[in-house]
């Protein structure tokens, strides 16, 4: 199987694989941003360590990584509101 190019826009399957269970609307928003697999993986890393403010301040998010992070956090907030 050929190695996947992580610098091209991610597919819906890539997004779900990297970010876990997020709603279809959020997946569509991320796809519309043309984010790469690398950018989504970086956002996933920030989401995993979101509780550690010191680490986040030392390595600030920018661009599409920040956009993806904010989309997923909003998706999580909507989920919590509807529980």
The number of CA neighbours under 13 Å toward the Cβ of 31 is 13
**Integer Cα distance of 72 and 65 in angstroms:** 11
> Does residue 71 lie in a domain region?
yes
DSSP letters along 23-35, please? -HHHHHHHHHTT-
> Does residue 30 lie in a domain region?
yes
> Does residue 43 lie in a domain region?
yes
> Does residue 2 lie in a domain region?
no
> Does residue 44 lie in a domain region?
yes
Neighbours of 65 (CB within 10 A): 21
> Does residue 5 lie in a domain region?
no
pTM: 0.79
Q: Count the helices and strands in the chain (H runs, E runs).
A: 5, 0
Structure confidence by residue, pLDDT tens digits, 6-49: 788 999 999 999 999 899 999 999 999 999 999 999 899 888 87
Structural domain count of the chain = 1
| Structural contact between residues 26 and 37, judged by C-beta atoms closer than 8 angstroms | no
Range of the domain at 40: 12-81
Q: Is the pLDDT higher at 4 or at 29?
A: 29
Residue 79: pLDDT band with limits 50, 70, 90: confident
Structure confidence by residue, pLDDT tens digits, 41-68: 989 988 887 556 555 555 678 899 999 9
């Amino acid at each position: 199987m050929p190695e996947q190019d992580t610098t091209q826009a991610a597919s819906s399957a890539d997004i779900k694989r990297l970010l876990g269970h997020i709603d279809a609307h959020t997946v569509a928003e991320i796809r519309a941003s043309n984010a790469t697999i690398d950018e989504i993986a970086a956002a996933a890393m920030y989401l995993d360590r979101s509780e550690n403010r010191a680490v986040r301040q030392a390595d600030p998010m920018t661009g599409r990584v920040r956009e993806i992070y904010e989309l997923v956090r909003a998706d999580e907030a909507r989920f919590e509101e509807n529980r």
